[in-house]
Amino acid sequence: MQAGRKLISAELRQRFCDARNVLVLTGAGVSAESGVPTFRGGGGAGVWKGLPFEVISSAEMLERDLPAVWEWFNYRRGLLEALKPNPAHEAIAGWQDRFGGLTLVTQNIDGLHQAAGSREVIELHGSIWRARCVRCGQGQSVREISVDDGAPPCLACASPMRPDVVLFGEMLPAGAFERAAAKAASCELCFVIGTSAVVYPAAAIPEIARAAGAYVVEVNPERTPLSDLSDEVLTGNAGEILPLLG
Ligand code: BJW
Ligand code: ZN
């Protein structure tokens, strides 16, 4: 633990004490210690029935085979059902009470930040726990409809529903990126946790924060394209590092 504490520089400790506006951007790595597979972490986690996730999680696949897309998300929801938030989610949820202005922006669709107690999470890529109508856009919790036999019908207009997630080639939910970007432009401290930082526009958020003068801290066991832009890189697992910040 002593060696771990040294990982956090005196400068970061001071900034962590003084900051009022803090933005946290998370990716799949923040949920890795809960047992959620990452997309690009190797080990075949991003492949399903021989299809890479870039293919099955795409706007083209939705057009071509909506039931297959449902099957893929049902499979993943099944894996998530038993999983719990880990110390990284819990540490971030605790920061809400510490900072006057904490903005949590996630690319994750798993709902684990909310399960840890985080409120007003900006979900850039939607949620696996919601469905929405392809025609009228009406939203619905997947817990309230039967999703086991392909695309369920919309309760309002009977058109097929789809998972309420953002697939490759789709626009982000209206206003989500804009809200996150505005907070990034006015934060003093920006944590980027467990993301390979290759998917845009999410990866632009720390770039916006840095350009506006924020101190950018990356938490990741691997280097990413963001590492050289960051003021500090904390190399390791989020669930071990974040609790050290207190
Ligand atoms: C740990 C750890 C531990 C492990 N602790 N860390 C500009 C240039 C080029 C292309 C584009 C561009 N702008 C837009 C695009 C196209 C595309 C894109 O970015 N492509 C790039 C990949 C090249 N973007 C889009 O299509 C977006 N839409 C859009 O831009 O709309 C406008 C538009 C529309 C039409 C035409 C043109 C423009 C939408 C992107 C939606 C992404 N959706 C997915 C799937 C969601 C549904 C699903 O779950 O299936 O979202 S893709 C996938 O990647 C998922 C993730 O949210 C996202 C990011 O991945 P993430 O979270 O970073 O995970 P990994 O696995 O990559 O990394 C995990 C990290 O954790 C690693 O670094 C590990 O080391 C680390 N780690 N253990 C801490 N314990
Ligand atoms: Zn509808």
Residues 6+ apart with CB under 8 A from 93: 85, 113, 116, 117, 118
- Per-residue model confidence as pLDDT tens digits over 60-69: 999 999 999 9
- Per-residue model confidence as pLDDT tens digits over 168-197: 999 999 999 999 999 999 999 999 999 999
81 CB neighbour count, 10 Å cutoff? 7
If you measure from the C-alpha of residue 160 to the centroid of ligand 2, how many angstroms do you get, rounded to a whole number?
Answer: 7
pLDDT at residue 162, as a whole number:
97
Pairing of strands 189-193, 21-26: parallel
List, chain by chain if needed, residues with CB within 6 Å of any ligand 1 atom.
27-29, 32-33, 38-41, 53, 57, 107, 109, 125, 165-171, 194-196, 198-201, 219-222, 224, 237-239
- Per-residue model confidence as pLDDT tens digits over 28-42: 999 999 999 999 876
Residue 151 has pLDDT above 50, yes or no: yes
Residues 6+ apart with CB under 8 A from 68: 56, 61
- Per-residue model confidence as pLDDT tens digits over 102-124: 999 999 999 999 999 999 999 99
Atom 56 (ligand 1) nearest CA: 107
- Residue 1's pLDDT band, with cuts at 50, 70 and 90, is very low
Neighbours of ion ligand 2 (CB under 5 A): 133, 135-136, 138, 154, 156-157, 159
Compute the distance between CA of residue 26 and CA of residue 28 in angstroms, rounded to an integer. 7
pLDDT at residue 45, as a whole number:
66
Q: Name the catalytic one among 125, 132, 162, 183.
A: 125
- Look-up of token digits 């819990």: 90
What is the pTM for the complete model shown? 0.95
Residue 3 has pLDDT above 70, yes or no: no
